[in-house]
Amino acid sequence: MHRKLATDTLVVRVARGVPEGARDLVAVEEPLAIVAEHGPPEARERTPLAVTMRTPGHDLDLARGFLRSEGVVRAPGDLLALRHCAGTRDARRGERDAGATRHAGSERDAGSNRVRAVLAPGVTLPPRLFNRRFPTTSACGICGAASLDALHALGARPLGPAGPDAPALDARALRSMLEALEAAQTCFRHTGGTHAAALFDQRHRLALLREDVGRHNALDKVIGAATDEALHAASALVMTSRASFELVHKAVMARVPVLVTVGAASSLAVEAAERFGLTLIAFARDDRFNVYAGAERVAFSESAGRRARTPAPVEPGSRPPMEARG
């Protein structure tokens, strides 16, 4: 069955102080529980891992991306299957083999707000996940790594330097990527209420895009939908939101070397990007952007380099208004 991404609702529109009844489309937000089936064959257990508020659709991709970001799934054989659950019985039509093609993450989900991840007998759950079984809003993520040291514990490794054949990211390529990101946002175009995350290949072409009310969910959906080969060959992840620590965490775990956001970057996001060798670009708009870490992957013209000036201190309240989504 198709899951609704937007729903029609009555609103009162006010213009110049005059109210008027109207109808509007709003993005759907519903809880999704992720449950792990794990343990030895003779003593399997089912453990709730997280509940996140998300826009229905691509739920299996979201769960796969979450498991990868949290360091639960590290090798292809770690995840045996993903399936939607209806109550205590599996909705078999929503089942998808973990090794199947992940080209789109079908919108024809099983109509359930519960996903079960069947893990291989040798996979153990990180202890921190047992302390985090509570709902999270669409505004905050479900990241268990609260510090840079915790990221190391997840198995995060510093990203290596750009290869000699890797195309550098310049202003022209970045502008093209932002235009592609904007053009592909179907749900946002109708509701104005979703974030988007996009994966771009080595030629800076759009490879995957997902939308969700939660920025972390949108990114997990992209990471979960992409094959290992696509992630390895990716040039960048581009998002409509600000750059928070959780998004840097997910980009590092996915081994994508560049994260671009339309909004601002937080201090911990910058620190994590520097620690793990991620190129972090924020306030990206048209031909303007700020590089907060990993400038070696960004191409600058020689004339621009000659015009470089020592940056002046930033005064509070001096930021220009940005059309970014938090």
Residue appearing with tokens 């997902």: 210
Domains 30-146 and 171-306 share a fold: no
User: Residue 172 to residues 168, 184, 205: CA-CA distances in angstroms?
Assistant: 11, 19, 13
Contact 248, 237 (CB under 8 A): no
Average pLDDT over residues 33-37: 96
- pLDDT value at residue 66: 96
Q: Across the chain, where does the E strand assignment appear? A: 6-15, 18-27, 30-38, 45-54, 79-86, 89-90, 96-97, 114-119, 135-136, 195-200, 206-212, 236-239, 258-261, 279-285, 288-293
- pLDDT value at residue 104: 32
Whole-structure pTM value = 0.84
Query: What percentage of residues in the chain have a pLDDT greater than 70?
Result: 77
Give the pLDDT band (50/70/90) at residue 306: very low
Of the given ranges (136-145, 173-182, 207-216), which has the lowest mean pLDDT?
136-145
Q: Across 87-194, where does the E strand assignment appear? A: 89-90, 96-97, 114-119, 135-136
Structure tokens that stand for 18 in this block:
């005059």
Q: How many CA atoms lie within 13 A of 83 on its CB side?
A: 16
Q: Which residues are catalytic?
A: 140
- pLDDT value at residue 188: 95
CA distance 152 to 197: 24
- pLDDT value at residue 191: 95
CA distance 243 to 251: 11
DSSP state of 53: E
- pLDDT value at residue 67: 96
Residue type, 281: I
Looking at the predicted structure, is the pLDDT value of residue 314 above 70? Answer: no
CA distance 37 to 46: 4
Domain ranges of the chain: 30-146, 171-306
* Better-scored residue on pLDDT, 166 or 51: 51
- pLDDT tens-digit readout, 163-178: 666 778 999 999 999 9
What CATH number does domain 171-306 carry, 2.30.30.90, 1.10.630.10, 3.40.50.1980, 3.40.140.10?
A: 3.40.140.10
Does residue 178 sit in helix, strand or coil? helix
Average pLDDT over residues 266-271: 95
- pLDDT tens-digit readout, 54-100: 999 999 999 999 999 999 999 989 999 999 987 544 444 444 444 44
Query: What percentage of residues in the chain have a pLDDT greater than 90?
Result: 67
Average pLDDT over residues 185-208: 96
Structure tokens that stand for 308 in this block:
């470089």
What's the mean pLDDT when you consider all of the chain? 84
Q: Which of 46, 166, 186 lies closest to 116 in space, CA to CA?
A: 46
Average pLDDT over residues 33-54: 95
Give the pLDDT band (50/70/90) at residue 102: very low
Give the pLDDT band (50/70/90) at residue 32: very high
Which CATH number is 30-146 given?
3.10.20
- pLDDT value at residue 324: 62
- pLDDT value at residue 162: 74
